[in-house]
């Protein structure tokens, strides 16, 4: 078994209506239900306005407002899943992408604490 991160690449510049948000949440909830037994951890994130970066600098740290990069797409949420191989991970990612209406980056873990 391998462990993968399915990270939602969320375009924060797109406006969503309340109905669209509700529909997306319902679709994602359905996928989560279907993924029971496969996901280890999952969660949606608040937009990057709520993000703070702590950066090492000469033995101390600096704390700054905002995400690492000023890009349109930000991490919007993620699943951590356990499955046999990349093909299975990609099959789940397809469902997640369609449910979220956003791109999903599929990335294997190098190691994971609970393994």
Partner 1 sequence: MDLDGVFRAEYGRCVATLTRFLGDIGLAEEAVQDAFATALEKWDEPPPNPGAWIVTTARNRAIDRLRRESTREARHAQALLLQQPDEPEDVGPVRDDQLRMIFTCCHPALAPSAQAALTLRLLGGLETAEIARAYLVPEATVAQRIVRAKKKIRDAGIPYRVPGHAELPDRLPPVLTVLYLVFNEGYAATSGELVRTDLCREAVRLARALADLMPDEPEVIGLLALLLLIEARRPARVGPDGELVVLGDQDRTLWDRALIAEGHELVRRCLRRGQPGPYQIQAAINAVHTDGTATDWTQVLALYDQLLQFVPTPVVALNRAVAVAEVHGPAAALAAVDDLDLPGYHLLPAVRADLLARLGRTADAVAAYDAAIALAANATERTFLETRRARLAPN
Binding site for partner 1 (CB under 8 A): 2, 4, 84-87, 89-90, 106, 108
Closer residue to partner 1 in complex, CB, 96/106: 106
**CB of residue 94 to partner 1, shortest distance in Å:** 10
Residue 44 and residue 75: Cα distance in Å, rounded? 9
Q: Which is nearer to partner 1, 4 or 92 (CB)?
A: 4
Least distance between partner 1 and beta carbon 88 (Å): 8
Residue 110 phi, psi dihedral angles, 5° rounding: -80, -40
- Closer residue to partner 1 (CB): 28 or 89: 89
How near is the Cβ of 9 to partner 1 at its closest, in Å?
16
d(CA 61, CA 76) in angstroms, rounded, equals 25
């Amino acid at each position: 078994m391998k462990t993968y991160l399915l990270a939602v690449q969320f375009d924060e510049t797109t406006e969503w209506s309340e109905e669209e948000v509700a529909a997306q949440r319902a679709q994602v909830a359905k996928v989560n239900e279907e993924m029971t037994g496969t996901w280890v951890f999952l969660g949606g994130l608040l937009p990057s306005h709520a993000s703070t970066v702590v950066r090492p600098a000469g033995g101390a740290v600096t704390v700054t407002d905002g995400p690492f990069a000023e890009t349109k797409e930000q991490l919007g949420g993620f699943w951590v899943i356990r499955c046999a191989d990349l093909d299975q991970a990609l099959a789940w990612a397809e469902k997640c992408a369609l449910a979220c209406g956003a791109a999903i980056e599929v990335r294997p873990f190098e190691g994971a604490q609970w393994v």
